[in-house]
């Protein structure tokens, strides 16, 4: 390929390539934002500390003040509940006191600590004071804890325990160390989102059972406390019922008051808000109404605990909704009237609201993820631009995703984001196809430095919302039912051909990359098409039979939906496994894998690499001792990106 000899226009004259070090320039990842009185609290994952996650707090509105770290090194806040974790942090306040519990990653134990100073009105006093040393509430055991809540009135923690193939609701006293868990409820299989009613007399939670995933088939349960160690009148009140053949998913219940529950439910094909009113006597539903009926999603796949798209401030409902992979913020009354707050963010998550205020994590094509504060009464928002990377990008140097609709599998309209190269450096446009993981995930348009890395080097990038992606309704998600490895790979190829037809990509210079489930789809593309000339796969699924036999509990039934029941469809598992289609692959592939990966076994990838080697297909495998399913360390991510670019340039002869 010829390199263009000259650049035109101010954008190209000012151009400088983004380096891999710029992409992972020690920018912390923000998660699980919370509001507490006059304070904002969040988790911060620090790549320069090996991905260690810590708790930070600052006053509302004080963006320029240094936040206080409540859990300094070596504490690492992370749960392993259901394999993917989340929900490791729980907090509550009483008067001037903050109570905080967290799951410590080093051995999975539960800790509690208190601080004072929440009501100190002195602007100079931005630091809370420790009231006690951290207290270890439970001994490290063969179980995982997470997704909890605390009641400072009863001084108890209540949450989910995963042990020996089953979930339990358990409690721990906040006053004792090294306890055994008190089991108050045993689920048939999985539990998520336990929520205590305002008067602490009722508990709501979500349940689902294998082979279903929570976004396919789940139900809302409610029980009443006799005391804080016993539940009675336990009933399923929404979602999928055993006597119904309809698959319904429920997401994130919150209590509107002591007898009303807000929940997102997709019985009409979209995750919409429903308000359930419980009978005062027996707890059965007396009323259920859809209070916001729109063709948009107010939920997301529950891969991790602690996700939040719904909150409540006084009598007002605040909800994040997603339409065609663009998020918006809405205020809704109990009667269903809604107001959209116009915000400069396309991607939003981890919403929390109280007393006329709201916080969430937001980003757009020009702004990296940051904490956003909103005054709900004045409709005013505020945030601080985060630019921790060493190479500052102006708007003119940022490639913005363009909507691309094309005919995908079964002639269905399918969506992707296309990022044009900035600047155009080649006579024939190289293209990188990104396949998101999940596969029930979503390609959003929030700021993405890895994408900008490639566009700054003259590449176009295609980020595809293939069949099964979230943000387009249940019917779009269900396109992948029994079709994983077929519909998704077809969509990826169809999207590329659409760009070639539009003159935005060179058929000679197409690369593809994916991780986990996205890696599986990428390998399926290589086996079914000669369109792709080079590929990169991080911890990919290569053997569906091995995954069926070896994967962790959370996903142990997922293949029933994606491929079919193994006993009835084992031939599909063999036919679609990349490991059994190696003879159809002639494309050079570079693999990356963590030695602590408990989701996809390294042995799967090693077998794939050996077979490709035997067929004399150019292949590389790079492993990382301390990484699991998803790389956290900065140095590892930099190395992966550099090796990927080097491999691509070599085999595309750029």
In contact, 251 and 271? CB cutoff 8 Å:
yes
Categorize the per-residue pLDDT at 396 as very low, low, confident or very high, splitting at 50, 70 and 90. confident
On the question of pLDDT at 397 being above 90, the answer is no
- Range 47-58 average pLDDT: 90
- Give the residue among 292, 305, 125 at the shortest CA–CA distance from 206: 305
Contacts of 213 (CB under 8 A, 6+ apart): 301, 440, 555, 557, 558, 561
- Range 71-98 average pLDDT: 94
Specify the pLDDT at position 550.
Answer: 83
Q: Which stretch of 171-175, 445-449, 452-456, 649-653 has the lowest confidence by average pLDDT?
A: 445-449
- Give the residue among 428, 462, 463 at the shortest CA–CA distance from 442: 463
pLDDT one-digit tens code per residue, 452-487: 999 999 999 999 999 999 999 999 999 999 999 999
pLDDT averaged over every residue in the chain: 90
Partnered with residue 166 across adjacent β-strands are 163
On the question of pLDDT at 122 being above 90, the answer is no
The 3-state DSSP class for residue 247 equals: coil
On the question of pLDDT at 67 being above 80, the answer is yes
Specify the pLDDT at position 389.
Answer: 54
The 3-state DSSP class for residue 569 equals: helix
508 or 426, which is more confident: 508
Specify the pLDDT at position 2.
Answer: 42
The 3-state DSSP class for residue 367 equals: strand
Specify the pLDDT at position 114.
Answer: 97
- Range 32-55 average pLDDT: 91
pLDDT one-digit tens code per residue, 597-622: 888 889 989 999 999 999 999 999 99
Report d(CA 305, CA 85) in Å as an integer.
6
Q: How many CA atoms lie within 13 A of 77 on its CB side?
A: 27
SS (H, E, C) 55-105: EEEEECCCCCCCCEECCCCCCCECCCCCCCCECCEEEEEECCEEEEEEEEC
Whole-angstrom Cα Rg for the chain: 25
In contact, 190 and 213? CB cutoff 8 Å:
no
Specify the pLDDT at position 130.
Answer: 95
Report d(CA 176, CA 156) in Å as an integer.
10
Specify the pLDDT at position 390.
Answer: 54
| CB-count exposure of residue 632 (10 Å: 0-12, 13-18, 19+) | buried
pLDDT one-digit tens code per residue, 513-551: 999 999 999 999 999 999 999 999 999 999 999 989 888
Specify the pLDDT at position 11.
Answer: 44
Report d(CA 42, CA 370) in Å as an integer.
11
In contact, 503 and 422? CB cutoff 8 Å:
no
On the question of pLDDT at 242 being above 70, the answer is no
Opening angle at CA 80, ends 627 and 551, nearest 5: 70
How many C-beta neighbours within 10 Å does residue 649 have? Answer: 14
Take residue 534 and report the two structure tokens written for it: 């080079």
- Range 39-63 average pLDDT: 92
In contact, 498 and 454? CB cutoff 8 Å:
no
Indicate yes or no: pTM above 0.85.
yes
Contacts of 519 (CB under 8 A, 6+ apart): 435, 437, 537, 538, 539, 540, 541, 542
- Give the residue among 386, 310, 314, 327 at the shortest CA–CA distance from 357: 314
On the question of pLDDT at 3 being above 50, the answer is no
Report d(CA 454, CA 433) in Å as an integer.
11
Take residue 317 and report the two structure tokens written for it: 């409902």
pLDDT one-digit tens code per residue, 203-240: 999 999 999 999 999 999 999 998 777 888 899 999 88
On the question of pLDDT at 72 being above 80, the answer is yes
Opening angle at CA 71, ends 65 and 72, nearest 5: 80
In contact, 145 and 103? CB cutoff 8 Å:
yes
Specify the pLDDT at position 8.
Answer: 35
- Range 252-278 average pLDDT: 93
| CB-count exposure of residue 408 (10 Å: 0-12, 13-18, 19+) | buried
On the question of pLDDT at 10 being above 60, the answer is no
On the question of pLDDT at 13 being above 60, the answer is no
Contacts of 607 (CB under 8 A, 6+ apart): 542, 543, 579
- Range 176-194 average pLDDT: 95
- Give the residue among 579, 292, 531, 562 at the shortest CA–CA distance from 438: 562
Q: Which stretch of 189-203, 421-435, 481-495, 516-530 has the lowest confidence by average pLDDT?
A: 421-435
pLDDT one-digit tens code per residue, 351-368: 999 999 999 999 999 888
State whether the Cα torsion 636-641-644-645 is positive or negative: negative
Take residue 66 and report the two structure tokens written for it: 């240094």
């Amino acid at each position: 390929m010829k390199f263009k000899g000259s650049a035109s226009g101010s954008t190209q004259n000012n151009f400088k390539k983004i380096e891999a070090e710029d992409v992972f320039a020690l920018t912390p990842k923000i998660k699980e934002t919370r509001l507490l009185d006059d304070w904002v609290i969040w988790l911060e994952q620090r790549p320069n500390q090996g991905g260690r996650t810590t708790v930070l707090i600052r006053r509302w509105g004080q963006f320029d003040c240094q936040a206080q770290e409540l859990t300094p090194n070596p504490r690492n806040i992370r749960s392993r509940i259901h394999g993917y974790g989340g929900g490791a942090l729980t907090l509550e306040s009483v008067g001037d006191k903050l109570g905080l519990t967290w799951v410590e990653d080093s051995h999975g134990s539960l800790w509690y600590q208190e601080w004072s100073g929440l009501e100190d009105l002195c602007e100079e006093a931005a630091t809370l004071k420790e009231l006690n040393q951290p207290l270890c509430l439970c001994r490290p055991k063969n179980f995982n804890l997470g997704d909890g809540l605390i009641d400072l009135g009863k001084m108890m923690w209540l949450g989910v325990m995963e042990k020996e193939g089953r979930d339990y609701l358990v409690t721990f006293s906040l006053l004792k160390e090294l306890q055994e868990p008190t089991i108050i409820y045993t689920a048939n299989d999985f539990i998520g989102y336990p929520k205590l009613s305002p008067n602490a007399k009722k508990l709501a939670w979500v349940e689902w059972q294998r082979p279903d995933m929570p976004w396919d088939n789940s139900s809302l349960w409610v029980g009443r406390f006799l005391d804080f160690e016993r539940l009675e009148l336990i009933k399923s009140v929404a979602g999928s019922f055993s006597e119904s053949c309809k698959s319904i998913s429920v997401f994130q219940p919150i209590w509107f008051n002591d007898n009303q529950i807000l929940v997102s439910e997709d019985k009409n094909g979209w995750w919409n808000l429903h308000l359930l009113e419980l009978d005062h006597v027996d707890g059965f539903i007396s009323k259920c109404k859809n209070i916001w009926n729109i063709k948009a999603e107010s939920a997301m796949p529950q891969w991790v605990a602690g996700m939040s798209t719904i909150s409540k401030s006084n009598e007002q409902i605040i909800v994040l909704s997603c339409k065609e992979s663009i998020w918006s913020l809405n205020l809704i009354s109990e009667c269903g009237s809604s107001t959209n707050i116009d915000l400069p963010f396309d991607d939003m998550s981890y919403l929390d609201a109280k007393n006329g205020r709201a916080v969430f994590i937001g980003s757009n094509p020009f702004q990296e993820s940051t904490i956003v504060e909103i005054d709900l009464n004045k409709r005013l928002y505020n945030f601080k631009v985060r630019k921790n990377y060493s190479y500052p990008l102006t708007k003119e140097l940022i490639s913005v995703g363009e909507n691309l609709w094309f005919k995908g599998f079964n002639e269905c309209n399918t969506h992707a984001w296309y990022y044009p190269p900035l600047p155009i450096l080649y006579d024939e446009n190289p293209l990188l196809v990104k396949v998101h993981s999940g596969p029930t995930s979503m390609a959003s348009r929030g700021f993405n430095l890895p994408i900008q890395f490639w566009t700054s080097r003259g590449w176009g990038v295609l980020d595809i919302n293939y069949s099964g992606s979230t943000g387009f309704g249940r019917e779009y998600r269900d396109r992948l039912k029994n079709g994983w490895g077929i519909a998704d790979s077809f969509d990826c190829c169809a999207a590329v051909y659409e760009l070639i037809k539009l003159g935005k990509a060179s058929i000679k210079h197409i690369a593809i990359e994916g991780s986990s489930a996205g890696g599986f789809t990428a390998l399926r593309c290589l086996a079914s098409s000669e369109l792709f000339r080079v590929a990169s796969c991080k911890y990919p699924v290569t053997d569906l039979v091995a995954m069926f036999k070896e994967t962790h509990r959370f996903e142990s039934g997922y293949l029933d939906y994606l491929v079919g029941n193994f006993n009835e469809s084992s031939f599909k598992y063999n036919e679609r496994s990349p490991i059994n289609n190696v003879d159809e692959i002639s494309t050079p592939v570079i693999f990356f894998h963590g030695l602590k990966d408990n989701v996809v076994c390294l042995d799967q990838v090693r077998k794939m690499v050996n077979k490709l080697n035997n067929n004399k297909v150019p292949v590389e495998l790079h492993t990382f001792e301390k990484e699991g399913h998803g790389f956290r360390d900065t140095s590892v991510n930099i190395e992966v990106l550099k090796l990927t670019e080097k491999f691509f340039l070599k085999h595309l002869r750029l």
